[in-house]
Chain A
Amino acid sequence: MSVLLFRRFKDQIVTMSLRGILVGVLILSAGLLGILLLKSAPMISDFPLSKLIFSAAWNPWKGQFGLSAFIVASLGVAIIALIFASPVSLLAALYLSECANRRLRNALRLPIDILAGVPSVVFGLVGVIVIIPSVSILSRLCGRDTTGYSILSGGILLAIMIMPYILSLSLEVLLSLPAEAREAAIALGATRWETVRHVVLKRSVVGLVAAVVLGFARAFGETIAVMMVVGNVAKIPHSAFDPAYPLPALIANNFGELMSIPRFDSALFLAALVLMIIVGIFSLAAQAVLHHIGRI
């Protein structure tokens, strides 16, 4: 009997600690958001939110903290990245799900995983030496003489970085589609293209969009690599060849000196908060969709 009591007691203790740790992790996560809110509160209470978000005037020395140039820059690089990355990644995922056999899929898992795991700073290096000169040449061809440090370079680099990510997410979505769905179309004599268009895409479009949106969220928050090629000029860019200054780069470049100027630190925490909220909204929506699909 004492053995039984001891076992029950041990089980209770373990159960309580496991649940406690899980709840602790959730509280910690909420705490992180709370800290960001707390630190950016002085900024939000002293300036109207519209001025902070929609004004492009960034002069911390004069007490102007408009973030819109940074938000636009972040959106710009992420959208360019998406334009380049999503067709390529989706088509490659379609090849792997519709044409390739399992052996090829398994064989390619390693390079794709490694590519997805290549550190940001390594992409940055390659960007500096390959993308910057190419974009500079391209700009000259377009009649503008630029260094190449631009929103376009940032976008291209991000596109390369999110390709393996969108590829593996969308491959998962495509592979979760039952084989019978395809067989029905193939049995009717449809070609591969017709099967993909009428069956595969139709049934997995939501999941694929979610994969692309997650790629966008990833691109939006990427820091080091973008910072190395995007030029970091705090002005709203007017063309793809203009330099820009995305939110993560703003935070990374300025955190060191934040004590010297009043309110500067609060402005940077507000930038981090904006970053977290924008990325959070996109990934929440996309993850909710993916979770929903996974549950069916």
Chain B
Amino acid sequence: MRNRKMKDALFYWTMLGSLAFILAVFSVILIVVFSKGFPALRWSLIFQLPKSGYYLGQDGGVANAILGTLYLSSGAVLVSIILALPAAIALQKDYTSPRFAQFTRLILDVLWGTPSIVYGAIGFAIMVYLGIRASLLGGIFALSLVMLPLMIRSMDEVIRIVPEELRETPLALGSTRFEMVRAVLLKQAFPGILTAVLLALGRGIGDAASVLFTAGFTDNLPGSLMDPVASLPLAVFFQIGSPLKEVQQRAYASAMILLFLILVINIVSRILEKRFTRHTIR
């Protein structure tokens, strides 16, 4: 009996220890980035473009990369929504046979797991074929490929859980399928759809591999879709590669900005999820 209890206690503490370890790792990451980056964080870093010699320790900031990342990921989010929302609705049993839907879901889940560097390479191949150089357009295209499966599947999941009886309500009144979708599915799943969009946005902001050779990098802001554009993850990556201490420190400060963006998106998505449940039927 004592033996059994001891085993149980040992098991309990290893489980708890593991969880504590993961949370500790999480804190270490935050502490390292913040303690290294905070001394180098200036308003100029956020609001200024890199001046000449920035990468040699001269003045300036990474506003090009911050804005570039926002351009890239919001562009890709827009493109993805236009395709993902209809596709997610088409996956519902109201539109598709369950077997085909199940097959498609599996394919999309596999695509979701495909490394973004692969999407970057494919995007690049298509750009070369079309004669497009590394640009905002190319970056948005590659990033959309990364986002699309993730967005379709997370929208699909939140629409799928709308109860059967709720779908029947408007149909019993003589509505068409589309009228039912608008009155019930989209309204009921709206908070979840928002979360799915923000999830994709967060993934887009942090993704470096897909924009590495499709978006290029520049110290300026893009003037058009055909101009190259900088991105925050790549700015971090290039600055840490510098041998100069000041520049390396700015890499950490830039990473802080990046983390801050991700944090804000996560928190905003949680707030919105609660805010928009006014009409939701439970």
Given a CB threshold of 8 Å, the question of whether A touches B is answered with yes
- For A220, the chain B residues whose CB sits under 8 A away are 115
Q: Which of B18, B177, B240 contacts A128 (CB under 8 A)?
A: B240
Give A242-296 interface residues, CB cut-off 8 Å to B: 248, 251-252, 255-256, 268-269, 272, 275-276, 279-280, 283-284, 287-288, 291, 295
- 10 extra interface residue pairs, beta carbon distance < 8 Å, beyond A18-B90, A22-B96, A88-B18: A21-B90, A35-B125, A92-B18, A115-B29, A221-B114, A221-B116, A248-B115, A251-B117, A283-B113, A287-B113
- For A87, the chain B residues whose CB sits under 8 A away are 18
Instruction: Output the nearest chain B residue to A268 by Cβ-Cβ distance.
Output: B121
- For A36, the chain B residues whose CB sits under 8 A away are 118, 121-122, 125
Q: Are B18 and A95 in contact (CB under 8 A)?
A: yes
Report how far A15 CA is from B90 CA in the complex, Å. Answer: 8
Given contacts A15-B178, A25-B87, A160-B25, contact A252 B209 (CB under 8 A): yes
Report how far A121 CA is from B210 CA in the complex, Å. Answer: 13
Q: Which of B118, B179, B208 contacts A119 (CB under 8 A)?
A: B208
Q: Are A39 and B240 in contact (CB under 8 A)?
A: no
Q: Are B205 and A119 in contact (CB under 8 A)?
A: yes
Verify if A199 is at the interface (C-beta below 8 Å from B). Answer: no
Verify if A177 is at the interface (C-beta below 8 Å from B). Answer: no
Q: How many residues from B make CB contacts under 8 Å with A?
A: 86
Interface stretch (choices A63-71, A146-154, A188-196): A188-196
Q: Which of A39, A91, A291 contacts B18 (CB under 8 A)?
A: A91
Verify if A230 is at the interface (C-beta below 8 Å from B). Answer: no
Q: Digitize A194-234: 1 where CB-to-B-CB distance is under 8 Å, 0 elsewhere.
A: 10100000000000000000100110111110001000000
Q: Are A26 and B177 in contact (CB under 8 A)?
A: no
Report how far A78 CA is from B245 CA in the complex, Å. Answer: 32
Instruction: Output the nearest chain B residue to A281 by Cβ-Cβ distance.
Output: B110
Verify if B194 is at the interface (C-beta below 8 Å from A). Answer: no
Q: Are A122 and B29 in contact (CB under 8 A)?
A: yes
Report how far A275 CA is from B119 CA in the complex, Å. Answer: 11
28 sampled A-B residue pairs with Cβ under 8 A: A8-B176, A10-B176, A14-B177, A15-B95, A15-B177, A21-B86, A21-B90, A22-B86, A25-B148, A36-B121, A88-B18, A91-B14, A91-B17, A119-B233, A119-B262, A120-B233, A122-B255, A125-B36, A125-B251, A126-B32, A130-B32, A193-B4, A248-B115, A248-B209, A252-B120, A255-B121, A272-B121, A280-B113
Interface secondary structure of B, over-half rule: helix
Instruction: Output the nearest chain B residue to A163 by Cβ-Cβ distance.
Output: B22
Q: Are A167 and B117 in contact (CB under 8 A)?
A: no
- For B122, the chain A residues whose CB sits under 8 A away are 32, 35-36, 272
Q: Are B113 and A214 in contact (CB under 8 A)?
A: yes
- For B63, the chain A residues whose CB sits under 8 A away are none
Q: Digitize B176-204: 1 where CB-to-A-CB distance is under 8 Å, 0 elsewhere.
A: 11110100000000000000000000110
Report how far A94 CA is from B165 CA in the complex, Å. Answer: 35
Distance between A233 CB and nearest chain B CB, rounded to angstroms: 17
Q: Are B203 and A129 in contact (CB under 8 A)?
A: no
Q: Are A228 and B237 in contact (CB under 8 A)?
A: yes
Contacts between the two chains (Cβ within 8 Å), count? 252
Q: Are B118 and A283 in contact (CB under 8 A)?
A: no
Verify if A114 is at the interface (C-beta below 8 Å from B). Answer: yes
Report how far A151 CA is from B241 CA in the complex, Å. Answer: 19
Q: Are B179 and A7 in contact (CB under 8 A)?
A: yes
Q: How many residues from A make CB contacts under 8 Å with B?
A: 85
Q: Digitize B83-119: 1 where CB-to-A-CB distance is under 8 Å, 0 elsewhere.
A: 1001101110001100000101111011101111111
- For A287, the chain B residues whose CB sits under 8 A away are 106, 109-110, 113
Q: Which of B28, B104, B126 contacts A26 (CB under 8 A)?
A: B104
Distance between B38 CB and nearest chain A CB, rounded to angstroms: 14
Q: Are A118 and B87 in contact (CB under 8 A)?
A: no
Distance between A64 CB and nearest chain B CB, rounded to angstroms: 21
Q: Are A217 and B237 in contact (CB under 8 A)?
A: no
Verify if A113 is at the interface (C-beta below 8 Å from B). Answer: yes
Verify if B52 is at the interface (C-beta below 8 Å from A). Answer: no
Q: Which of A92, A128, A248 contacts B19 (CB under 8 A)?
A: A92
Q: Which 7 residue pairs of A and B lie closest in terms of their CB atoms, listed nearest first?
A: A221-B115, A119-B206, A95-B15, A91-B18, A22-B90, A11-B176, A283-B113
Distance between B208 CB and nearest chain A CB, rounded to angstroms: 5
Instruction: Output the nearest chain B residue to A91 by Cβ-Cβ distance.
Output: B18
Distance between A285 CB and nearest chain B CB, rounded to angstroms: 10
Distance between B193 CB and nearest chain A CB, rounded to angstroms: 15
Verify if A19 is at the interface (C-beta below 8 Å from B). Answer: yes
Instruction: Output the nearest chain B residue to A167 by Cβ-Cβ distance.
Output: B22
Distance between B129 CB and nearest chain A CB, rounded to angstroms: 8
Report how far A89 CA is from B118 CA in the complex, Å. Answer: 27
- For A167, the chain B residues whose CB sits under 8 A away are 22
Verify if B132 is at the interface (C-beta below 8 Å from A). Answer: no
Distance between B10 CB and nearest chain A CB, rounded to angstroms: 8
Distance between A226 CB and nearest chain B CB, rounded to angstroms: 10
- For B36, the chain A residues whose CB sits under 8 A away are 125, 129
Report how far A112 CA is from B124 CA in the complex, Å. Answer: 33
Instruction: Output the nearest chain A residue to B239 by Cβ-Cβ distance.
Output: A125
Q: Are B113 and A114 in contact (CB under 8 A)?
A: no
Q: Are A21 and B83 in contact (CB under 8 A)?
A: yes
Instruction: Output the nearest chain A residue to B69 by Cβ-Cβ distance.
Output: A119
